[in-house]
Amino acid sequence: MKEQMDAVARRRDELKKKQHQDSDGDDEKDIDFYDILSAISSKSYGINELNVPDLTVYQVYRKFKRMEIIDQYDISIKSILAGAKDVKLTHWSSKA
C-alpha cells in the first residue's frame, strides 16, 4: 500500500513539474485538482489519503466548495465578534 502511495506521489510531482514548465508564467496562486485533494484530506475528519480515491470528481469539488463556505462563515463570525459592521452572514449549511 505504501509503495503504491509513493508511486502516486512521485507521478503527481512529475505531472506538477511538467505542468509548471508548460505554463511558463501562469499565476502560481492557481490551485489544481491535486491541491484540492490535499486540502480536503488535510481538513476533513473522515477523508484521508487512503479513501480519497473512493470519491468522485463531483464529490471532491462539492466538498471543497463546502469547506470554503465554512471557512468564510468562521471568518464572518470572528469579524462580527471583533466589531466589524456590514458583514453578510450566511450560515454554512445553506445552499451554495
Rounded to whole angstroms, how far apart are CA atoms 88 and 85?
9
Cα angle: 20, vertex 22, 27; to 5 degrees: 50
CB atoms within 10 A of CB 79: 14
pLDDT, tens only, 65-77:
999 999 999 999 9
pLDDT, tens only, 1-27:
778 788 888 888 888 777 666 655 555
Rounded to whole angstroms, how far apart are CA atoms 32 and 4?
22
Between 2 and 32, residue with greater pLDDT: 32
Quote the pLDDT of residue 27. Answer: 55
* Spatial contact of 82 and 57, defined as CB atoms under 8 Å apart: no
Task: Calculate what percentage of the chain has a pLDDT beyond 90.
Answer: 21
- 3-class SS of residue 51: coil
Model-wide pTM > 0.95: no
Q: Grid coordinates representing 25?
A: 508564467
